[in-house]
Every structure is written in C-alpha cells, then in structure tokens.
Amino acid sequence: MTELHEILFTSILAPDQTPNVVGQIVSQARAAHAEHGITGLLVFDGLHFCQHLEGPTWALMRVIDQTTQDPRHTALRVLHEGALGARHYPRFDMGFAEVEGPDSLNDLLQLDGEAALAKFVAMRPRFDISG
C-alpha cells in the first residue's frame, strides 16, 4: 500500500495571465489528479491559489514540480507537508475565497506548518466550493 501524504501550498496567478485561465487549470488538474490518486481542494481568490492535496508522495511531488514549471503560476510556496492517516476529501474540487476579510487567503499566506493547515481547515466551510 502506498503511504498517504498531504501538502498545502500557495502560488500566485502570473502577471501576464487573467483569471480566465483558472477553468483550464482546474480541468487539467482534475484529470491528472484522478489518474494519480490525488484528492483535495484548490481555492482561488482572483490572484492567489491555495491547494490542499492528498495522495501518494511521488504524485504530490509531481504536482509541485509541474506547478513550479507552469507559466500560469508564480511564487509557489509550500506551507505544510506531512504523512496523513486518512483522506479528508472524496475527490478534487475547486473553491473560491473572499478577496478581503477574515476568509481571505492573505491571512493564510502569513502562516506555515500546522498553523497554516489549521487556518485552511477552519476556512474551508466558508469557501464557495463547486465540484
């Protein structure tokens, strides 16, 4: 059995891109993640992406490598990673976050490690999620 891991990371929409590319990013990610046993949530606030993914370590590292090389993303930063006992997500979904206020991703970007993960999990019920 493959060991299950989780990773929480952020990136920024590249300056030469518009939010119109987000649908394409999600479609490509959904197909690739399903193929490699990755579940999780991608949240976008109009500028920042935040992804909480779970799956085999090799598959998550592949996502990090691909996102780093993707010209639609800049400033990738891993906030948390570690072993995971059980999945929290049944599939890969996308959500939208408030641009300002207590549910904005800006507060999350100031954190790392367990604090970042706890903040993201606390924010999750307030994201506008479509699956």
Backbone φ and ψ of 100, nearest 5°? -135, 165
Count other Cβ atoms within 10 Å, centred on residue 90.
Answer: 8
- pLDDT value at residue 97: 80
Domain borders along the chain are 4-130
Full-model pTM = 0.91
- For residue 53, the one-letter residue type is L
Write out pLDDT tens, residues 77-116. Answer: 999 999 999 999 999 988 888 766 766 788 888 899 999 9
% of the chain beyond a pLDDT of 90 = 68
Dist CA 93 CA 101 (whole Å): 23
Phi-psi region of 46 (alpha: psi -120 to 50; beta: other; left: phi over 0): left
Write out pLDDT tens, residues 35-52. Answer: 999 999 999 998 999 999
- pLDDT value at residue 106: 84
Please report where in the chains the tokens 């954190």 appear, as a residue: 111
Fold of 4-130: Alpha-Beta Plaits (3.30.70)
Q: Inter-axis angle of helices 57-69 and 22-35, to 10 degrees?
A: 150
Query: Between 66 and 2, where is the model more confident?
Result: 66
